[in-house]
Amino acid sequence: MQTHQTIPGFSRSILLSSLLLLLCCKTASGFGLMGPISASFGENGFFCAIDASGKQNVVCWGKNSSASTPSSASSPTSVSFSNIPAMAALSGGEGFLCGILSNTSQAYCWSSIAPSVDLVPPPFKTTAYSHIAAGKSHVCAIRGPYYSDHDLGTVDCWEIFETGNNSLSSKQSALFSEQSISNLVFKRIVSGEGFSCGGIREGGLICWGPNSSNLGVSGVLDNFTALASGKSSLCGISELSGEVQCWGDADLLAGHPNGTQYVSLAAGARHFCGIREDNHGVECWGVFNSSLIPKGPGFVAIASTDFTTCGIREDDLVLDCWAANASSSQKPEYDPPLELCSPGLCSAGFCGVGKFAFNASILNEVDLTSLCVRKELTICSSCGSSCSEGFFLSSSCTENADRVCTACSLCQNSTCWDICGRQAPPEMKKKLWNHVRRLVIIFGSSALCFLLILISWCVLGHSTTTQKEEGSKKQFKSCIGKPELEADSNEDSTPPLYVVPCPGMAQVFRLSELKDATNGFKEFNELGRGSYGFVYKAVLADGQQVAVKRANAATIIHTNSRDFEMELEVLCKIRHCNIVNLLGYCSEMGERLLVYEYMPHGTLYDHLHGGLSPLNWGFRLKIAMQAAKGLEYLHREFVPPIVHRDVKTSNILLDSEWGARIADFGLLTSNDKDLGGDLESDVYNFGIVLLEILSGRKAYDRDYTPPSIVEWALPLIKQNKAAAIIDRYVALPRNVEPLLKLADIAGLAVKEKLNERPTMSDIASWLEHIVKDGLTL
């Protein structure tokens, strides 16, 4: 891990290791992956990951063995523990995990039963190690300080075994202390069941241990940038060719996809998952249920225990776990804590070709300049080269940042047409629109941001993961920025929450409650992704449906908690029947979640352009009027006025009564609070909404000339030919006069000169008249 050449960042080094395991064996698991997240196998299996606090703290989670029915709604299915010292790297064995301490480079091994008991035998406790590889019941490690440029050294091995009374013990290993390797200097190693293998300084691969001869590794002269192993197999990535080579139990490799490069691999009992090198998406093979695998872009690291895989998501550094098979119902057996985690291992030296270093400077606000315990260390990750379906590459990987993927809905010129335009079938476009403006944060620099966020989350999180669930809703009690120390702190050990005055209106939700309500923020509950972050559909314990907005890292980075509180204060005051109102919020463990009314009938966009029922003219006029009233309310009722800044049909939602509601406003998207021209620009954008309602075409559509709806419609309206823009797919009313009036209003709203545009109040009252006069259908 020390130099870029020997340790190609977490991604490569972790890579293939686990693959091999066994489709055949009863429990076949991958061992020896050293990375920022790792899993131990077997009955007492558990996961651990290095957090993003800048302290390299470790958070672990395992099954709640007393929760007999994983599907029962309320009881936690997993348990977290975090009293593990700070670690540089992790590697999992069977029933235990090992790591290298970040401060001293000493090895430390623990089980979930007694995490504070160090299982490393005394003779090895004081040695510094640069690499560690846990196998089924033994551990080997390369001597030398972890954070150095010279990660070569000789190997020590010890055994870890059950004592028969459900605890583990360890001893110096005779089995693995072979004379033949005692003087060899290794670059990296991996362990499996009864064997370890490593690449040596002079080049070539050597295996030792009682089961090593079964692998058939002898005379291999290649060098490998990464090694991984299952119980009876071994794989490595050739330094020269970049290709994967494997030895041992050939059956295990049967389903391995040819021709795809991976940057990380994880093996379960009967399946493998890997992170693709190109777009960082997860693919699995073996026995697994593909509908349980998270879709869309990518992961920075994954690890697998027997039937569960967990990973660190690239766009927010949040942990996500999924079951490999369908028999486990909705709640995964291993429900991860909501914490941000490190995207990779910290190392000394440069990242090298094909890698980028996380640049933490963008995290200034959080007072965090690095995710590593020492400032000179960096986290190197593999560059992505392409984006998942529905996204185009808007900037390539640099030294300090991964490539950036942008939603195809934002594709505006020929640079992305090839990727987005011709390939995007209509349904996909629809979906994309639902995910308006999702920006895949680049792994590199942005991910660092996430990490920073994570750090603070993790720090808080450690003290909060065991909190009780009762009393989960609280009324706002005190003022912004004042920790709610008074009343509740004695009743339970909840962390300080920041509460906002919101007279009787908004609730403070518990993180655990919202996590349950969204099934752990699972993909299949997502409604879309706004600029603020993910939006999830949730069902609260009382059956109420709500929408939960979860701030992404970029949002959190760009708004400090003070801004957030001010924002909340404003949001709390907004109450209107044409607004998607805030019901409550949650600010725990660094998370920022806003809970809104749920709008069952989707967005106006989806009705006009996305295949949901096309609305008739009566509905369309009413929706126009109600949306105008919602905006008028924002513009008129507040001092200073609330500027929406993103008025568009996908931000106009339809409630259960088909009433129009304005959504997604007010969340600080820019720091400039200068209102000059902003109200008018809301009006302009509302004019575009009116044109879309009238014509049924999109605001920007390359199938038309000109593609801009304003440039297309305005000349026609000015020439009194507005009839030509009216949507012909909806039966026309006998009297089209109201529609022509609507066109006139739209024409005024999109006037070039700001001072010639009407106010939202004007527009709302005109529309009200049109609706009152009624349509003759």
Active site residue ranges: 646
- If the CB atoms of residues 258 and 671 are measured against ligand NAG, the closer one turns out to be 258
C-alpha–C-alpha distance, residues 68 and 58, integer Å: 27
Residue numbers 256-295 binding ligand NAG by CB under 6 A? 258, 270, 287, 289, 291-292
474 labeled binding residue:
no
Site membership for ligand NAG, residue 64 (CB under 6 A): yes
C-alpha–C-alpha distance, residues 353 and 346, integer Å: 17
Site membership for ligand NAG, residue 232 (CB under 6 A): yes
**Whether the Cβ atoms of residue 137 and residue 94 lie closer than 8 Å to each other:** yes
Member of 149, 161, 171, 203 binding ligand NAG (CB under 6 A): 203
Q: Quick one: which H or E segment has residue 685?
A: helix 678-695
C-alpha–C-alpha distance, residues 33 and 10, integer Å: 10
C-alpha–C-alpha distance, residues 750 and 738, integer Å: 19
**Whether the Cβ atoms of residue 11 and residue 344 lie closer than 8 Å to each other:** yes
CB of 572 to ligand NAG, least distance (A): 32
C-alpha–C-alpha distance, residues 356 and 352, integer Å: 8
C-alpha–C-alpha distance, residues 244 and 277, integer Å: 13
- If the CB atoms of residues 76 and 614 are measured against ligand NAG, the closer one turns out to be 76
Question: Which of 316, 300, 312, 307 lies closest to 284, judged by CA?
Answer: 307
Member of 5, 27, 127, 169 binding ligand NAG (CB under 6 A): 169
Binding mask 318-337 for ligand NAG (x = CB under 6 A): -----x-xxxx----x----
Site membership for ligand NAG, residue 103 (CB under 6 A): yes
**Whether the Cβ atoms of residue 53 and residue 360 lie closer than 8 Å to each other:** no
The structure tokens listed for 30 are 């991958």
Site membership for ligand NAG, residue 76 (CB under 6 A): yes
- If the CB atoms of residues 417 and 619 are measured against ligand NAG, the closer one turns out to be 417
Sort 703 into a burial class: Cβ within 10 Å, 0-12 / 13-18 / 19+: exposed
Binding mask 118-137 for ligand NAG (x = CB under 6 A): ------------------x-
Member of 8, 30, 62, 85 binding ligand NAG (CB under 6 A): 85
Site membership for ligand NAG, residue 396 (CB under 6 A): no
How many residues lie near ligand NAG (CB under 6 A)? Answer: 48
Binding mask 339-378 for ligand NAG (x = CB under 6 A): --------------------x-xx----------------
CB of 52 to ligand NAG, least distance (A): 17
Site membership for ligand NAG, residue 307 (CB under 6 A): yes
Residue numbers 405-424 binding ligand NAG by CB under 6 A? 410, 412-413, 415
Question: Which of 184, 195, 179 lies closest to 140, judged by CA?
Answer: 195
The contacts of residue 402 (CB under 8 Å, 6+ apart) are 314, 356, 381, 383, 384, 442, 443, 444, 445, 446, 447
Site membership for ligand NAG, residue 223 (CB under 6 A): yes
- If the CB atoms of residues 292 and 441 are measured against ligand NAG, the closer one turns out to be 292
**CA-to-CA separations, 160 to 18, 98, 199, in angstroms, rounded:** 20, 11, 24
Site membership for ligand NAG, residue 167 (CB under 6 A): yes
Q: Quick one: which H or E segment has residue 451?
A: helix 445-464
* Distance from chain centroid for Cα 32: 25
- If the CB atoms of residues 401 and 746 are measured against ligand NAG, the closer one turns out to be 401
The count of other CB atoms within 10 Å of the CB of residue 540 is 20
- If the CB atoms of residues 24 and 777 are measured against ligand NAG, the closer one turns out to be 24
Question: Which of 272, 269, 331, 320 lies closest to 296, judged by CA?
Answer: 320
- If the CB atoms of residues 289 and 681 are measured against ligand NAG, the closer one turns out to be 289
Site of interaction with ligand NAG (CB under 6 A)? 64, 66-67, 75-76, 79, 85, 101, 103-104, 136, 163, 165, 167, 169, 175, 193-194, 201, 203, 210-211, 221-223, 232, 240, 258, 270, 287, 289, 291-292, 307, 323, 325-328, 333, 359, 361-362, 400, 410, 412-413, 415
Annotated binding-site residue numbers for ATP: 549
Annotated binding-site residue numbers: 549
